[in-house]
Chains A and B, each alone.
Chain A
Amino acid sequence: MTPLLEVIGLERSFPTREGGRIRAVDGVDFTLSRGETLGVVGESGCGKSTLARLILQLVPPTAGQVLFEGEDLARLPAAALRRRRRDLQIVFQDPFASLDPRLRIESIIAEPLIIHGIGTREERRRTVATLLERVGLPPDAGRRYPHEFSGGQRQRVGIARAIALRPKLVIADEPVSALDVSIRAQILNLLADLKADLGLSYIFISHDLSVVEHVSDRVAVMYLGRFVELADAQTLYARPAHPYTRALISAIPQPDPSDRRARLVPPGEPPSPEHPPPGCRFHPRCPHARDVCREQTPALRRVEGGQGTHLAACHFAEEIAALPSPTG
């Protein structure tokens, strides 16, 4: 059976004002099965959001393919792509910016139904009422405008809009990072409930490993436009095979005051994606770097003896995976 989504060699570079090119996404491959949640984590600027936009064809790729149920989205004619969009939806990071301030909530949620010609006016009204209830908003919310709601409520509206078409895949691009910590769990639980009820698949993008850990089946770690590690969530957290992943995991705050374990914070900022370092892109910040890391770029490969399909782009992945767990 063809996977729901297959991403092959996806690349996107943007020209800079100085005439160079920033390779925001630089060769990403992965597959996503039906019903699966893939978490994508990485620092700001690593290309996570660009990856989301490439998959949704909101930004055309420079190279590579996005196969949705075996169909290359980039090759679809414009009208066919618009029809296909009902199967792929997105929840945006900023619930203030992603809702049109001039439209009532009911119009915002009904818009996907109108675009795809679903139902009569009366049926759409009922669908909107059902969706409002489903995402935990009061029935009278439909008559109001976005500015009358808090961030968490608006994000519920954004989620209602995304699931209105019963999509197969929802890309959640940092869906909770603009929200108060107290609201985050509610939204994450809502997303999890919807997944179970509607049989959704998610690509869940976040800079926060602790958020991704709870919702993902598999997790990909992104660094300078590439996946450096991809593994089952449990494996990744227990036995990370890439030094960058190790560092990220060690930096998750623990609610334990006696926690005295060392934080393996990588020194410095990530280098500019316009001038990535030669060899392994992480080597200038890597505590385990050796000569080979400065010369040869490690491929994303299977970790020998790893659990399931544990992939890592490190010359010494097996060695790193054998180190004591960073979570202590």
Chain B
Amino acid sequence: MTVAVAPVPPLPGRPRGAIGRFVRHVPALVSLIVILALVAGAVFAPAVASLLGIDPLAEDLFNQYQPPSAAHWLGTDALGRDVLVRLLYAGRVSLLVGFAGALIASLIGTLVGIAAGYYGGRVDAVLMRITDAAIALPVLPLLIILAAVDLGKIGLPESFVRSGQAGVWRIVVIVALFGWTTAARLVRASALAVREREFVRAARALGASDLRIMATHILPNILSPLVVATTLAVGSVVLVESVLSYLGLGINPPTPSWGGMLQNAQQTVSRAPWLAIFPGIAIFATVLAFNFLGDGLQDALNPRRTRR
């Protein structure tokens, strides 16, 4: 017997789906625009610099500590460099560190968490004790030590160590090393819940391997909390980078980063407050925007709403 029944048609009207819900979340939408603007500014920093006819590294000792003006929209710093252009260039570093750090941390956390949650038992116990240990590490003293490691001595090529790149990736590695625990715990908890669902049992009855079950059934079903957590992590990584650079442990001059600019500004904060204010605003806006974006994504991807 074959009775063909048409599937239930979708309800008409109102924007549907995750995108529709996201667009209606105003702070998240504004945040996304802010983030896109910051990213665009960072990506097109050289273009903006040449458009304004400003060399980002050119020092002009006759124009130190200029307040914001028509020539220098955000003023100049102690060496007479244009703050706006430096801010855009610093954004390249800070945002790169933010995205790379958050992604790598989430990747490590996902691998650890999914293995712990799916296999359970002893695997879970061992992995989660390691996670607990990582959380219990005294972060700041270790950061100071890691930031002081001579990269040349651990076998990295000299040319890489000398380039500004080394400082950036050092921060990314440090952030990932400490940041994966959040994702690991989140992913483990979600995997633990998904593992018990019947479609996972169905896949096992079909003969699916553990790897296949984790990749095709567990991971897609825990993706929404993971995306939200990674988004939120970008903001906090930017903050960590600022703190490290502020402490002089991050990215070394002349490579600019927002935290590094803040550090340079601290001696002259009463004389030239804009040197502290603008990088501060950049950090603040970035972190805030990623937090709102995370909230918006959370609402948009909420599985209870996704499943009608």
Using CB atoms and an 8 Å cutoff, list the residues of chain A in contact with chain B. 53, 56, 58, 81-86, 88-90, 92, 94, 97-103, 111-112, 115-116, 133-138, 141, 144, 147-150, 152-153, 158, 161, 165, 186, 189-190, 193
Contacts and interface: CB of A to CB of B under 8 A. Distances in A.
A134 B201 CA distance: 24
Nearest to B212: A115
24 contacts: A58-B204, A81-B207, A85-B206, A98-B201, A98-B202, A99-B199, A99-B202, A100-B199, A101-B221, A102-B221, A112-B207, A116-B207, A134-B2, A136-B2, A138-B7, A141-B7, A147-B307, A148-B7, A149-B7, A150-B5, A186-B1, A186-B3, A189-B1, A193-B1
Interface string B270-308: 000000000000000000000000000000000000011
A212 B197 CA distance: 27
Contacts of A83: 207
A193 B1 CA distance: 7
A36 B134 CA distance: 57
Given A99-B199, A102-B221, A115 B4 contact: no
B5 A147 contact: no
Given A136-B1, A138-B6, A100 B206 contact: no
B4 A138 contact: yes
B7 A153 contact: yes
Contact of A148 (B1, B3, B4, B8): B8
A102 B222 CA distance: 10
Nearest to B208: A115
B7 A56 contact: no
Contacts of B1: 136, 186, 189-190, 193
Interface in B174-227: 197-199, 201-209, 212, 216-217, 220-221
A152 B199 CA distance: 17
B205 A85 contact: yes
A86 B10 CA distance: 36
A102 to B, nearest CB: 4
A147 B220 CA distance: 16
Contacts of A84: 207
Interface in B84-104: none
A88 B8 CA distance: 32
A213 B205 CA distance: 27
A82 B307 contact: no
A186 B307 CA distance: 26
Contacts of A141: 7
Given A58-B201, A101-B307, A136-B1, A115 B206 contact: yes
A150 B3 CA distance: 13
A94 B198 contact: yes
Nearest to A95: B198
B165 to A, nearest CB: 38
B207 A86 contact: yes
Given A82-B208, A97-B198, A138-B7, 4 more contacts: A98-B202, A141-B7, A144-B7, A149-B7
